[in-house]
Structure 1
Amino acid sequence: MNAQTLSVPAAIRTRRTTRHYRPDPVPPELLAELLDLAVEAPTAWNMQDRSIVVVTSASGRRELSNAAFGQPQPLEAPVVLVFVAETTAWAAENTDIAELAVRNGAWNAEFTAMFAARAEFHSLRERGLLRENAVKNAMIAATYVMLAATSLGLSSAPMNGWDPNLVKQAIGIDDRPDLAIAVMVAVGYSDTTPPHPGRRPRERMVFAERYPSS
């Protein structure tokens, strides 16, 4: 990339949720870089049980705006990323994941055998937590996207107010009960610089060892 990027701490401190965007398109090479960074996000057991649907068409973004009760971000931002949680991805063989990890020297034979056994995922299924697990992994990727977008000079907005059935319909997965919508993230160029609303002091939010009783 030719543009100067921000450091991770700078991106964290300067990121703002943007509701209104200029019509400028996101250059394809910049979008490709953003998505490459997104898929670097970690997942439990490296299962990569989340996907991203990139919506850039006016009709697709209009459907997403309707699904989000008329919010303007999908209409104005040139790109909307829909993060899909794949609740049954773990049940496939996923041999490519293990083979690549072994080839890269990241996994030994013992860990590879544990990956093949899927004990943790069987436990999640028994406890009804497969969807929660996949959504968590998708949300980590969404966080990567927002920070990467800021570092690359883009603006973004996480969107959590939408009808999941309408979002699934808009991206063509309304017949897939195994897939869940985790979040939508609008990406583009802000038409202004939103002020920081502020955060409570760290002492109010961070505790040592145990959550306070009162």
Structure 2
Amino acid sequence: MNKMMSVAEAIRTRRTVRHYLPDAVPAEQLETLLALAMEAPSSWNLQDRSIVVVADPEGREGLVWASGGQPQPQEAPVMLVFVAEPQAWREDRSDVYEQARGNKAWSEEFITGFAAASTEFQQGLAERALEREYAVKDAMIAASYVMLAATELGLATSPMNGWDEDKVKKVIGIEGRDDLTIALLMSVGYAAEKRVHPGRRALERTVWREQHGAA
């Protein structure tokens, strides 16, 4: 039995992989990744992010088109499209409250106050045109969870840039949906290449104490 990888080991050994073996990702592992993604923290517990799993050849070919011919959708057996849902706060959230109530995590008093405060906060974001930004942040946190969990399972991933949002929306069936936005594309599979860590700058270049740029 393989030794369980720690979170620190997953962070240090994860690499972005662009080329994949054709081997399928076991369904059980894929379900584990999706479940762990949804465990990611979410502002006001809105859970304003979702994932579209694209595994059929036709869908992956569509993502090749949407990403300008990049190899990941061509080779990886699974593509994950992280969708941010900026308008989620306007929808019925009774299921979220019911679950928290059932888990004895939130009291009735807390739920009442939380519901009012979260709505007020989101209204403030809407007035400042920041709803999209907050939802994308939540989706990106979920994507980070997937990358680390995949590494622990022996799978490779690649968080992708360079795609056309309108084309991605068309591929996953949300064409014209201005209430949804694409946060990230991610390939998942078994690596067909070994990527060497290029290194990171020293903390003295990238970490500051109290104020940015402070000595």
With structure 2 as the length reference, what TM-score do the two structures score?
0.95
In the TM superposition, 1:15-30 aligns within 5 A as: 15-30=14-29
In the TM superposition, 1:48-63 aligns within 5 A as: 48-63=47-62
Amino acid of the structure 2 residue aligned with 1:175: G
Aligned partners of 1:5 and 1:153 also within 8 Å: no
Q: Per-residue CA shift, 1:102-124, capped at 9, x if unaligned?
A: 22122233431233221111111
Identity of aligned residues (%): 56
Amino acid of the structure 2 residue aligned with 1:201: A
The 4+ residue runs of structure 1 with deviation greater than 6 A are: none
In the TM superposition, 1:22-101 aligns within 5 A as: 22-101=21-100
Amino acid of the structure 2 residue aligned with 1:156: T
Question: Partners of 2:113 and 2:130 in 1: how far apart?
Answer: 19
In structure 1, the partner of 2:161 is: 160
In structure 2, the partner of 1:112 is: 111
Between 5-14 and 164-173, the greater mean CA deviation after superposition: 5-14
Question: Partners of 2:60 and 2:3 in 1: how far apart?
Answer: 29
Please say if 1:188 is aligned against 2:189. yes
The count of corresponding residues between Structure 1 and Structure 2 is: 213
Between 61-70 and 108-117, the greater mean CA deviation after superposition: 108-117
Question: Partners of 2:58 and 2:199 in 1: how far apart?
Answer: 36
Helix, strand or coil at the partner of 2:201: coil
Amino acid of the structure 1 residue aligned with 2:7: V
Once the two structures are TM-superposed, the CA of residue 4 in structure 1 deviates from its matched residue by 4.9
Aligned partners of 1:5 and 1:152 also within 8 Å: no
Between 180-189 and 91-100, the greater mean CA deviation after superposition: 91-100
Q: Which runs of 5+ in 2 are unaligned?
A: none
The 1:86/1:52 distance shift into structure 2, 3 A limit, reads: same
With structure 1 as the length reference, what TM-score do the two structures score?
0.96
Helix, strand or coil at the partner of 2:175: coil
Helix, strand or coil at the partner of 1:10: helix
Helix, strand or coil at the partner of 1:140: helix
In structure 2, the partner of 1:127 is: 128
Helix, strand or coil at the partner of 1:184: strand
The 1:4/1:82 distance shift into structure 2, 3 A limit, reads: farther
Helix, strand or coil at the partner of 2:159: strand
Question: Partners of 2:51 and 2:3 in 1: how far apart?
Answer: 26
